[in-house]
Structures are given as C-alpha cells and as structure tokens.
Chain A
Amino acid sequence: MKTKNFFRRKTTGQIIVYVIAFVVMLVQCLSLIFCLLWGFSSSLKTQEEFSLNSPLAFPQQWVFANYAEAFDMLEVRGFNFFGLICNSIWYAVGTPLIQITVSMIIAYVVIKYPSKFTKVYHAYVLVMMMINLSAGSAATYRFFAKLNLVDSPLFLVGKIGKTTFAYLIFCAAWRGVANDYMEAAKIDGANHWTIMFRVMIPQVIGTWGALFIMDFITWWNDYTSPMIYFPNWPTLATGLFEYESDMIMSVNMPVYFAGLMISMVPVIVLFMIFQDTIMDRISIGGIKG
C-alpha cells in the first residue's frame, strides 16, 4: 500500500527516474556497507587466514580475541589503546566545548545587543569568511610553539575563539528567539548575565548540542592536526595511522582492523542517537544576514 501511494500521481517518466535514483543510491550504499563488513570480517580472522586465504573468504573461526588484543598490541609513542582514546577524548570534547560555546556567546551579543561595534564585527566575520589569507600551518605551529602550546593539551588554549560556521548558525538561532524572554526576565529583576545563562541559552541548547556532536565527530576523526601540533600525544585516529605506517611489514592486520572497528563505535553510536537532532538543527541561511 505504501508503494502504491508513493507512485500515485506520478508519471511513467517520474517513476523511471525514481527507480534509477533508487538503484544508484542503493549501489553506492551497498558498496559502502560491503567495505565496512569486509573490514569487520577481516578483524575476525587470524593473521595466517588474512595473509594466505582469499580476501573474499569468511573467517574460519571468529576470533573475537582480536578485539582484546587490539588494546594490547596498538601502542604508539608510549600510549596504549586506552591512552590513545583518552587523548581523543580531551581533544574531541575540549575543542568543540570551547569553540561552540564561544560562538554561541559571541552570536548572542551580536544579535541581541546590536550596536555599531557588533555590526562592524559581523561584517568583518562575513568578509573574513571569504578571504582566506592564511600564513598556514607553519606559522601557526611556530606561533603556538612560542606560547608553549604545542605538544601538550594546552593546545586547546589556541582553540579559544569562534568558528564561522557555528557563529552563523547561532546568529540564525538567536534571531529566532524572541526578546520577550529577556524583557520578562528583566522585569523579574534578572541582570544581563542571569538572562543569558538561565533564560536565553536554554532556548538554543538544542542547537548547541547538535553542533557539539557534529564537531565532536569531526575532531574525533581528525588525524592531521594532532600529527602537527601534539605529535607526542597521539589521538586514536593519529595512532592508528602511525601504527600502520611504522609497522607496515609486521602488523597483525586482523588485530589492526579490530582497532579500526573499535575506533568507529563512539561516532556511530552518537550519530545514530542524535541524527534527527543534527539534521533538524543544521541549516545555513543567507550570507547577507
């Protein structure tokens, strides 16, 4: 019945197009799923099976012990698997916590407390979004090194600032929150700080949460910035890359694949739980705003 309703009022041409689109997207999805399943299947093989048998062969014995062994085997620069996870956590939690919160506050002040200064600032943000004059990672590294912010969790100090994307999202979000809440709180005797923290921020906490989750996923997966700025504090993504690069001839690949599978669990779980929230909250409005 659902299929019948879907094709109701559609011409033959439309149906053909929908079928083609369905097939194309299905092939794309199946190829992705096949690769992930192959990776999972490989993680359950022994090293001999992986090396000697056909890559299409299923595991003869499902060696789940590979997952436990991943915690022992994968060690990079003195950090074991737990250590790599810990580094990923402080990097992937700390960075969005700082940047999303700062973006939220800056956007709140710009939208709710307009003045010549905030208008100039907003125009500056829009201009700088287009102009990508950059001294690059070399200058950033050298400057951070002078401030002793490299090769340590103090790198997060350099993250104090907004991101343009989050700032624009929050600008749109704050425009949608009525000033009546502020008026009512003011009448009740609240000061500006109370109004912001206890009345207004709760109005956009969903947006904050969605952006935090998206950014958490981005920083959890980032492997290049840790390599440059804190190479002796490798994250899980960096560690997995460097482990395979350094040990290429002697890596127990099934155990390595088990490590890869473990590393994707947090982000998949987060996305599956919050996918509707993320998709509902994220939209980009006009750049002229």
Chain B
Amino acid sequence: MGKTNLNKNVLDKNDKTRKLFVLSMFVPIILIEAVFFFGVNIQGLIMAFQKELPNGTTLFSFDNFIRIFTEGFEGSSAVFSEGIRNSLLFFGLSIFVMMPISVIVAYFLNKKIFGYKFFRIVLYLPNILPGIIIATIFRYVTAPDGAGVIASICYKYGWNWPNLFGDSRYAIWSLLFYSYWTGFGAGFLLYYTAMKRISPEIIESAELDGVKWYQEIVYIDIPLVWPTIAMTILTTLPTLLMSSGAVLLFTRGEYGTQTLAYWLFDQVRNRANMNYSAAVSLFFSFVTLPLMFISKWLMDRVPDTQY
C-alpha cells in the first residue's frame, strides 16, 4: 500500500499530505459558505439602502429605515408595535413557560414515571408531525358556531363558544395556547438525554441525604445539565423579536396576531416591499445584537459542571 513511515504521526503538522487533505476538505466548503453568507448579507445591505422608483430604477436612500418608524410604529396599522408585542409574548412563553415545563417533563421521564415510554412518544409527536395537520385539526376542533367539537359540546349545555381565531379579543391568546399545547415538553428531548447521563449514584446519594424531588431538580439536575439549558437559551435569545406562533396557519396576521416574523414572511412570499423588508430584517437584527453579548456574558458567569 505504499511507503509508510512509522515515526510519522498522522496528526503531524509538518505532513504535507495533511495540509493537502485539510485544504481539500475544508477550503471548498468554507468558500461556498462564504459566498452564500457574504452574498446574502451584502445583497441585504444593498436592498436595505435601495429605493425603487416607479420607472424601475433604484437610488441610494435611507427611506426604508425611515419608513420603519413612520409606517411600522406610527402608521395607521403600526404593524411593528403589534408585531414586537406579540413576538415578545411568544418569546416569553418559550423561555419562561415552555422551557421549565420541558425540564420538569424530562425529570419525570428520566425517573421512569409510570407510562414514560408512552409519554415520550406522544409528547414528541407535535414535533414530528407536519404543522399543517395539527393546526387544521385544532382549527376544526375549536371552530365556533357548533361546527367544532368543543362548540357542539358547549351548545348542548347552552353555552357559547367564541370564535377563537377570528376575534381580536382571543386570537393572540389562542395562538399562544396552541403554541403551548403543541410545544408542551417539546424541548424535553434534549434535557431528557442530558439527564440520562447523570450518574445514578449521585441521585441515590442525594436521596439518602434526604433531598426532596424539587431540591434534586434545582440543586442537582439543573446544574448538571446547565450546558444544555444554556445552549437552548443562547440559541433562542437571537429570536427575541422573531418569535412567532402558527400565524400563517390560523390568522394570517389578522385580529391582532401580527408578528415580525410573519410580516417578513408575508412580504417575501408576495414579493412585495422586498427592499423594505430587507431593511426591517437588518434593523431588528442590530437592535437585538447587544442582547446576544449580554446573554453570552451571563452564561459565562455560570460555572461548567463535569459528570
């Protein structure tokens, strides 16, 4: 198979074939990634500062950014005020409700609560089923006017069942509930996998010392799986203003359910206001930039745990 050199380490940095290998594997991929990364972002910068004139030509302008404030925050629809509010609601739900629930669900599944195999499959089902299926069924189950399952039960007892997704009083809260219902324990898989790695001896030792179940979660499980939790928070934080629920599947942004993410999607889907939406994306990315560094700084304050 050719000449071999028993004294040459395969990771020897002076090995010329090693350099050739690294170049052949690494460089083409990095180049392609760079083309798309820089290409898309440069394209975005150009579009953000471009104003399209009626005759089809373009000129450099700050109009798109001015428009964010004149139309997005102060206009008749103030779509960004509503969008940011709703995005923060979805983000808050994700971090302050769904994540703790996921950790608790992971704890009980790890403890092999009765039926844990059944729960593990069913709770994860919304993550693997197409969103259109669950959303369509949910819409029909909760439909108003006797057409839906719940409405027909209510009507039997003389109760009214509201139009959850067609009434601005309920629509956003219904979307939040839907996100909670389909996301119940959705993140549990990561925490469950991490908790499985915790040595049973640690838990048994704690139990012998009289540690209660909530103390175990707070003082043992969470610290030991903190890298996983930190990773989840850190990767979720950039989506602070882009959090959204199933807006497209239920309300299309009407009835007070507009989110920034849906608005951007809608513009691109309809090929409308493309330059404006590029400016909006960039603007809100910069707005949330400080949060990223703060988040990383906070995460670094928590010591790593080895087990």
Contacts and interface: CB of A to CB of B under 8 A. Distances in A.
Contacts of A56: 149, 152-153
B303 to A, nearest CB: 11
Contacts of B192: 279
B78 interface: no
Interface in A159-173: 160-162, 164
Contact of B234 (A42, A106, A130, A141): A130
B140 A55 contact: yes
B33 A32 contact: no
Interface stretch (B54-62, B69-77, B79-87, B129-137): B129-137
Interface residues of B, number: 114
Contact of A138 (B44, B197, B285): B44
B249 interface: yes
Interface in B106-153: 108, 111-115, 118-134, 136-138, 140-141, 147-149, 152-153
Given A28-B184, A109-B25, 18 more contacts: A18-B114, A32-B122, A105-B29, A106-B30, A113-B18, A115-B22, A118-B26, A139-B40, A139-B278, A179-B10, A186-B9, A189-B2, A192-B17, A224-B248, A257-B137, A271-B121, A280-B193, A285-B227
CB-based closest 4 A-B pairs: A135-B44, A136-B281, A139-B44, A189-B1
Interface of B: 1-4, 6, 8-11, 13, 17-18, 20-22, 24-26, 29-30, 32-33, 36, 39-41, 43-45, 47-48, 104-105, 108, 111-115, 118-134, 136-138, 140-141, 147-149, 152-153, 181, 184-185, 189-190, 192-194, 197, 207, 212-213, 227-228, 230-232, 234-235, 237-239, 242, 248-249, 264-265, 267-269, 274-275, 277-278, 280-282, 285-286, 288-289, 292-293, 295-296, 299-300, 304
Interface of A: 3, 6, 9, 11, 13-14, 17-18, 21-22, 25-26, 28-29, 31-33, 35-36, 38-39, 42, 54-56, 102, 105-106, 108-109, 112-113, 115, 118, 121, 129-143, 146, 158, 160-162, 164, 179, 182-183, 185-193, 195-196, 217, 220-221, 223-224, 227-228, 236-237, 240-241, 244, 256-257, 260-261, 263-264, 267-268, 271-272, 275, 278-280, 282-288
